[in-house]
Amino acid sequence: MPRIDLFYYGDVSPGQSPVSLYRDIEEQVVLGDQLGYNGVWITEHHLTMRGEVPDPLLFLARLSGVTGRIRLGTSIVCAPFYHPVRLAESALLLDAVSGGRLDLGVGSGVGSDEFFAVWGIDKATASARSAEVHEILRQAIDERVVDFEGEHYSFHGVEISPPAGRPARDLIWTAAGRNAIDLAARHGYRLMIPRPLPLAERLRFSREYRAAVAGGEVLHLRSGLVAETRDAARRAALEFLRTYAKIYLGLDWQGGPDSADFDDIAEQLSFAIGTAPEVAEKVRAWTDQFDGTEQTAIQFQGPGVSQLQALTAIELFAAELPELQADAVHTAVPYVDPGIPERALGSGPAVPASASGAGEARR
């Protein structure tokens, strides 16, 4: 059975402020940390897009300070929107201060041409930029020096600090997308499969990844809600399900908790709704469907779900964690403080003098 995580897309409910959302998520994650959930994943969104967390690493830094054990994941950082060296530094700082709890999900991001233009980026280059950022991150983590010449980025002899305390293949998860299987096969990265993908696409990515990466690991992002009774869970999840049916399926669905198509829509959206044992059984079925899954993250917080309902779901489902996670393999490599080389005072950064101007991202 898989390790079980919490997942946050960052949706606010009608009338809810982002500040209130951040406080609610923090309370839920602190509870999850106490109850034995393996990790938490936070999604990145910007400007007026759905989702109210523009900087998941910053938010996870906050969460690292109020938790002691739970792993801290980005689902994802949108690679093209970052200076690659700055992203490496921020990620390594968070991994260091959290004691090696970071899981860095990396992908290309989504949005319109106009949205990408805000960041000075041609949307058509996003996938290629993301692939280059993956390689720059690998060098920064595994080699401590970035020496990279690509179509979009150029760095020469840039020494990274703080140095990594774990290898890149333990830190980085690559999001299912155009370059995912190639990147994962080349570097041994783990694979993150997002919730909205149709089942056929999920199965294809999982199958191709398993064939390409021996001993690799897969994370599925899911949604759900748990309550004391099946009927209470379905009522509480109704607005959540309706909102996502409109966004992801293009359906203006107004059915109720007892409607004939409730379960079909939930299945299409990768939702598990019911009592804790019922949702646990759904997790088992998902795991079998994909011939084993190392990690499953469930989004209990969503539009129309109150804080009390989300906290109740997290607490009720925690009763299923000991059995679900009993045979889960925990493969995270312990963090080891690598130290840094001694440098003469005033010597400046360890960048070759001949590399004048190197390290700047190309536009």
pLDDT computed for residue 50 by the predictor: 83
95, 334 Cβ separation under 8 angstroms: no
Q: Is the pLDDT of residue 360 over 50?
A: no
- Average pLDDT estimate for 222-230: 97
Taking the whole predicted model, whether its pTM rises above 0.75 is answered as: yes
Between CA 11 and CA 45 the distance in angstroms is 10
Give the model's pLDDT for residue 359.
43
| Whole-number pLDDT of residue 343 | 66
Confidence of residue 195 (pLDDT cuts 50, 70, 90): confident
Task: Tell whether the model's pLDDT for residue 345 goes beyond 80.
Answer: no
pLDDT digits (tens, 9 = 90+) for 239-282: 999 999 999 999 999 999 999 899 999 999 999 999 999 999 99
- Phi, psi values for residue 86, rounded to 5°: -65, -40
**Considering the chain, what is the average pLDDT of its residues?**
92
Closest CA to 221 of 171, 173, 277: 173
DSSP H or E segment with residue 159: strand 154-159
Domains belonging to the chain, first-starting first, are 3-229+274-324 (3.20.20.30)
pLDDT above 80: residue 358: no
